[in-house]
Chains A and B, each alone.
Chain A
Amino acid sequence: MAKNQKTYSISDLQKKANAIRMDIIKMLEKAGSGHSAGPLGLADIFTALYFRILKHDPENPDWEERDILVLSNGHCVPVRYAAMANAGYFSRKELMTLRQFGSRLQGHPERQRLPGLETTSGPLGSGLSQAVGMALALRMDKQQHRWVYVVMGDGEQDEGNIWEAAMLAGKYKLNNIIAITDRNNIQIDGPTETVMPLENLKDKWEAFGWHVLEIDGNDIEAVIDACQMAKAIVERPVMIIAHTIPGKGIDFMEYDFHWHGAAPNHEQAVKALKELRTLGGKIRSEHE
């Protein structure tokens, strides 16, 4: 958790996740382009990471004792920007500069532009191997109390670079890596199992020497529990396959791969925000 930060209850965290989703919709509408489905699906995981799991300090992004979070599927960066702003790294107002000229919030994340990003990513498949390098460096420096988290897409696991890294982490039994696969089953051309079947994904990772946990990635409590459990696995790296709903929280986006690489227009954004504000109709007074 963040330095000097209070402990949030699960219901507080769910409200945070909702606020982050609303920010994502506003940012993407303003930007006029970008990816919607992935960031919305990852909102619960990023909320859990930034408000409970990660040891970090928004006031001092380079804090020497911090945990490292690598975002491998860089196109999902709106969720990271929104989580960072809500955690206090920068003002939420700056979120509205996403993808604009001169902004620190590049379309795909650039480490040198914004403190706290750790890597530059977008071209897929290279996050895990950088995390492996970081984990090796921490082991050499006997900094085993620091963790390297890496969030990866499922579609990007078509890339060979991922499996090269998986082998190396397995070889060196890098137990200080906790990887999270955003298993939302979609990629640009369609369902992952049509474009390039990944199943059985759990068996694949286990065969590469990893301990695999499978969870509901939209259940914040499950994400927190899985990360705690992962820390207790000392003999090998851990992959958490987090099943998420792409476009989670917005009825007309959920499960639709067309929203992978699209941003909402004004009308769609109004509709989406209304849905989020009323928690999908659960708050009846604001519905209608």
Chain B
Amino acid sequence: MMNEMHLVAQVTESEPIRKGFGRGLLQAGHNDENVVAACADLTESTQMHLFAEAFPERFIEIGVAEQNLVTVGAGLAAMGKVPFVSSYAAFNPGRNWEQIRTTIALNNQPVKIIGSHAGLYTGADGATHQMLEDLALMRALPNMVVLAPGDSVEAAKATLAMAKDKRPNYMRLAREATPIITTEHSPFQIGRAYVFRDGKHISLISTGTMTAAALEASMLLAKDGVQAEVVHVPTIKPIDHAVILESAERTRHVVTVEEGQINGGLGGAVAELLGENLPTTMLRVGMNDRFGESGKPEELLKHFGLTPRHIAMAAHSLLMDHSGHKH
């Protein structure tokens, strides 16, 4: 791993990404009195309770009304507030996308939309709650910044960055504990991608919870003599052209990895970028045009092909098919 990324030497701890958001929001509340928050009846689930307890006069309980959640947010932003509005990603932005489009994106108000419990890590709740389309939905909106932090430590930094960003933002969070891979010293800036591990044979380009899996996959590949580069993309939009193109140019083989629909998600974004600038052999690992189902996260990740082993297999097959790479 590259030292300047200040990653953990070895993964020993895990924590839900949403917890980092809760801490970050509390800090953002202390930093700026214009930061306010609203939630649709999921205050503790989305970790907004820390803020709500510290700043009750700046917290609004909306009730189970996600259309209202984001439009009230647009009104707060219109008066100079920096509103964070949270619910589960299945409803926010799943249910209220048109309101987001008109009153936040087109209206260009700096509302901070938080979609928690995204992806397969939502587990037993099943397909209705496993939001897999949020990145595609939000990435299609002009003016919108789309974030998917890789762990709880990065989520706290992303939250603080959002509070300072003047644009509409969406951030995806996960429910279950996932490995902590970065440290307080790891860099984070909206719009930047980071090379978490250097390699020359293939690029594993990942986002959110899947970056930890991609790092693990790179270790499996190393045992087989394949040097995989791991590029972490916590900002899906605007996507970091330079870092992704440089990596693809170096390795000439790209596997994208995400815990969501590959159509329109990170896989779509990278395919668009490479297709127009540097056509590169690639494979997209993620949900391929299907819904999830109930189960433990590890069962689901295995069933849908999102484990480090699956990622490594995808890398091998791409190298076999397209480069005659022998190992």
- Chain A: residues with CB nearer than 8 A to chain B? 110-112, 118-123, 125-126, 129-138, 140-141, 160-161, 164-165, 167-168, 171-172
Contacts and interface: CB of A to CB of B under 8 A. Distances in A.
B80 interface: yes
B294 interface: no
A120 B111 CA distance: 15
Nearest to A118: B78
B67 A140 contact: no
Nearest 3 A/B pairs, CB to CB: A133-B75, A137-B79, A164-B68
Contacts of A112: 107-108
Nearest to A112: B108
Nearest to A143: B79
B99 A136 contact: no
- Interface-central residue, B57, B65, B74, B75, by most chain A CB under 10 Å: B75
A134 B78 contact: yes
A160 B67 contact: yes
Contacts of A123: 98-99, 102
B141 to A, nearest CB: 13
A132 B103 CA distance: 13
B250 to A, nearest CB: 41
Interface residues of B, number: 28
B241 to A, nearest CB: 26
Contact of A137 (B62, B67, B71, B76): B76
Contacts, number: 99
A138 B79 contact: yes
Interface in B102-125: 102-103, 106-108
6 contacts: A111-B108, A119-B78, A132-B75, A135-B75, A137-B75, A137-B80
B107 A120 contact: yes
Contacts of A110: 106-107
B52 interface: no
Q: Is the interface of B mostly helix, strand, loop or mixed?
A: helix
Interface in B35-83: 36, 57-58, 60, 62-63, 65, 67-68, 71-81, 83
Contact of B103 (A120, A140, A168): A120
Secondary structure at chain A's binding surface: helix, strand, loop or mixed? helix
Contacts of B60: 136, 168, 172
Interface in B11-50: 36
B72 to A, nearest CB: 4
A164 B80 CA distance: 23
Given A112-B108, A123-B102, A161-B99, A136 B68 contact: no
A161 to B, nearest CB: 4
Interface of B: 36, 57-58, 60, 62-63, 65, 67-68, 71-81, 83, 98-99, 102-103, 106-108
A119 B83 CA distance: 16
Contacts of B80: 137
Contacts of B107: 110-112, 119-120
A135 B106 CA distance: 22
Contact of B63 (A125, A141, A168): A168
Contact of B71 (A126, A135, A171): A126
Given A119-B78, A135-B75, A165-B68, 12 more contacts: A111-B107, A120-B103, A121-B103, A122-B102, A125-B67, A126-B74, A133-B72, A136-B60, A136-B72, A161-B68, A168-B63, A172-B60
Contacts of B81: 137, 140
Given A111-B107, A134-B76, A138-B79, A121 B71 contact: no
Contacts of B98: 123
B68 to A, nearest CB: 4
B108 A133 contact: no
B42 to A, nearest CB: 16
Contacts of B106: 110, 120
A120 B106 CA distance: 7
B79 A129 contact: no
B142 to A, nearest CB: 12
Given A119-B107, A126-B67, A130-B103, A165 B72 contact: yes
Contact of B65 (A118, A125, A134, A167): A167
B49 to A, nearest CB: 19
A96 to B, nearest CB: 25
B71 A129 contact: yes
Nearest to A110: B106
Contacts of A132: 68, 72, 75
B78 A165 contact: no
A133 B67 contact: no
B78 A168 contact: no
Contacts of A125: 67
Given A112-B108, A168-B72, A129 B63 contact: no
A106 to B, nearest CB: 10
A132 B75 CA distance: 7
Given A112-B108, A140-B58, A164-B68, A130 B63 contact: no
